[in-house]
Amino acid sequence: MARFIFDADKIEDISDGYHSFKELYEFRKIYNAALFNEWAENGKYEVYKSKKHFDGEDCFDGKWFIVVAILPTGQISNHYEMKDWDLFKIPEYEKSKYEFDGHTPKDVITRLEGAING
């Protein structure tokens, strides 16, 4: 049986031949910021950011924050490092307004597709 051993410091450099994991996460962050900023500016969906989860706990020891959108198809969210706080020009709350509904990455994709397709 083949075993693969990865250097944890190098995982972000793994590539599909076009983009590394690091690049793909950066794309996701920038696309997400652009989309959430647009939704906030136009009032299309409720979006916000917070340094604390719904229970009042800091997001990952205060080194991260959460962004949330409430779509007609359900809640979606992502966490980002504090260094990226200013990319998201959306309302800020002391703690997350809504309890996490348990959505998975697959749920987020389905909810976004549903919002696109109306």
Examine residue 64 and state whether it is found in any structural domain, yes or no. Answer: yes
pLDDT confidence of residue 20: 86
Examine residue 51 and state whether it is found in any structural domain, yes or no. Answer: yes
- pLDDT tens by residue, the chain, 118 residues: 666 566 667 777 777 777 788 899 999 999 999 999 999 999 999 999 999 999 999 999 999 999 999 999 999 999 999 999 999 999 999 999 999 999 999 999 999 999 999 8
Examine residue 5 and state whether it is found in any structural domain, yes or no. Answer: no
pLDDT confidence of residue 3: 65
pLDDT confidence of residue 17: 78
For residues 7 and 116, give the distance between their C-alpha atoms in angstroms, rounded to a whole number.
39
Examine residue 14 and state whether it is found in any structural domain, yes or no. Answer: no
Task: Print the domain residue range for 47.
Answer: 21-117
User: Quick count: other Cβ atoms within 10 Å of Cβ 7?
Assistant: 7
pLDDT confidence of residue 5: 60
* Torsion sign across C-alpha atoms 16, 19, 23, 28: negative
pLDDT confidence of residue 14: 78
Counted domains in the chain = 1
Amino acid code (one letter) for 24: L
Examine residue 15 and state whether it is found in any structural domain, yes or no. Answer: no
For residues 86 and 88, give the distance between their C-alpha atoms in angstroms, rounded to a whole number.
5
Examine residue 39 and state whether it is found in any structural domain, yes or no. Answer: yes
pLDDT confidence of residue 7: 65
Examine residue 45 and state whether it is found in any structural domain, yes or no. Answer: yes
> What's this model's pTM, rounded to 2 decimal places?
0.86
For residues 57 and 116, give the distance between their C-alpha atoms in angstroms, rounded to a whole number.
33
Examine residue 68 and state whether it is found in any structural domain, yes or no. Answer: yes
